[in-house]
Amino acid sequence: RRATLKKFTDMVSKGEDFPLTEFGSRSSAASEAVGYGKCLMLFHMARRAVGNDEFLAAMTRFDREHRFTRASFTDIANAFTDETGGDWVPFVKEWVERTGAPQIEIHEARVEEGAPGEAPWRVMVHLRQVQEEDPFPVTVPVAVTVEGSEEPVWAEAGSCGRDCIVEVPCTTRPLRVDVDPAFDVMRRLNPLEVPPALSTIFGGDDPLYVLPSKAGDQEAAAWRQLAADWARPDEPRVVLDSEIERLPDSPTWVLGWENLFGGEIARRVIEQGVELSGQSVKLAGDSLARGDHSLVLVARAAGDPKTAVGWIAAAPVDAIPGLARKLPHYTRYSYLGFRGGEPENVAKGMWQPLSSPLVRNLSDGEMPPLELPERAPLAELPPAYDAQALGRVVAALADPALEGRGLGSEGLARATAMVEAWLTESGLETAGDQGFRQGWRWTGGDPEREMELVNLVARVPGTDPELADQPILVLAHLDHLGRGWPDVRSGNEGMIHPGADDNASGVAVLLELARTMAAEPPRPRPVV
């Protein structure tokens, strides 16, 4: 929910907002934030208001009465009205026919002594909707952390208008108060509630691209292409780091490991555990070597917490086109790490929020942490596949006794026999030269020699004769590095490489998929 509200806050400006009733399909980040995000929060607020049982009963009624017909949000409201007894039409109408969302602030929070015969303390919280639009119908949860208890005391501002007062009685001394700490209300977030993320920059207007003046021709051209791709159909605003004295307080991308402003962005997030050295960057427990890693860091603009600046550094240069394609799909994150030229994502996460205007310290000392209770999901679906079976296959193939399943090894031969037995148990058709086996001879290895290698090929038949020779192929490789051939990291020579993730896990998925498909009705197209 936090990510949903942040995306709405970052991506939906007044010019791009529209009522939920006008949503047809996702065509942009803003339309997704309204059509998916606001709808998600509408159902969540309804669920919290009536509880799981009545929520499911109302949705079941809606499904039963309108299945295979065109239905509207009003029909959903009527189902809730009929099932719960309250009039849900005004609430739903407000949220689906209006644009915008509330912005909630703590106008005042104070601790008072309780009256005789009541709880010894009470916390009075004055909430206010500060957006320009008329107030929205919201029920705002408030949590008060008290002395001697891990669980906070909860209260709610029911049907909160422009202003409302929440009174929270406490039997022990109140220490802190949090307003909507679990992000249960559809609203625009204060920028200090959540850390900056890529969405903060992507959602901004006309970002500036700061290129490294020390970059070579290939790198400079790649960064300019990234800027052009992201700015399309407009022309990007591009400057060199040597042409500006300071970063602006507006959406900005700082590009390149050698950019003069990269270190400044890293220093702005030093409280999040970022450490920048000459050869590497440490972030959230991960260390990224500059020689073969790409880095993305997002920090708040120095003079405007509503916007952000980001540093994208790439190595090798070949990774830049991949970053241009991939980063728009990672908008929820504050930091990212990638490896190689593809590039492969190896680190991602959001910074921790260090301050929030919807939190107040009610004590004279250090503010304690908030402990939110775990919530059960609305429904728990059974697993689609057998996790224990997957684990057993991986454990068997990664057993050190198989010595890493190197090419031409006894360990690989034993692993092949195990997989062959599992395929036989699945009841699949054989599709090799000799049963499941398809053999051939190959020269290689260390020492180099001729060896006989084996594929295992099974088939799930299809029903359409015209597709008999056009199967879907599902593949996983069973061999691995053995004791370090053909590729080994320095210092690992001669050591067993078990290969649980390369590719015992892939073989396990293939076998579980084969078992499942063999038990299902046949499809038109065969699967090999």
CATH topology for 101-194+358-381 is Immunoglobulin-like (2.60.40)
Question: Does domain 2-97 fall into CATH 1.10.390.10?
Answer: yes
Report pLDDT for 133.
93
Contact yes or no for 190/358 (Cβ under 8 A): yes
Give the Cα separation of 308 and 195 in Å (integer): 10
Segments making up each domain of the chain, as ranges: 2-97, 101-194+358-381, 198-349, 387-519
- The overall longest dimension of the chain from CA atoms, in Å, is 93
Report pLDDT for 82.
97
Q: What is the mean pLDDT of each run of 10 residues along the chain (528 residues)?
A: 91 90 92 96 97 97 97 97 95 96 96 90 95 94 94 87 92 95 95 90 93 97 97 95 96 97 95 88 86 95 93 97 96 94 93 88 89 90 87 95 94 96 92 95 90 95 94 95 85 89 93 91 94
Contact yes or no for 445/485 (Cβ under 8 A): yes
Q: How does pLDDT run across 18-71, given as a tens digit for each residue?
A: 999 999 999 988 999 999 999 999 999 999 999 999 999 999 999 999 999 999
pTM above 0.75, yes or no: no
Give the Cα separation of 501 and 329 in Å (integer): 25
Give the Cα separation of 449 and 444 in Å (integer): 6
Strand order in the sheet with 275-276: 275-276, 280-283, 286-289
Alpha helices in 67-121 (DSSP H): 73-84, 89-97
Please give the sequence-ordered ranges of beta strands (E in DSSP) within 389-457, or none if there are none.
429-430, 437-444, 449-456
CATH topology for 198-349 is Chitobiase; domain 2 (3.30.379)
CATH placement of domain 387-519: 3.40.630.10
Report pLDDT for 368.
87
Q: How does pLDDT run across 160-178, given as a tens digit for each residue?
A: 789 999 999 999 999 999 9
Give the Cα separation of 136 and 158 in Å (integer): 12
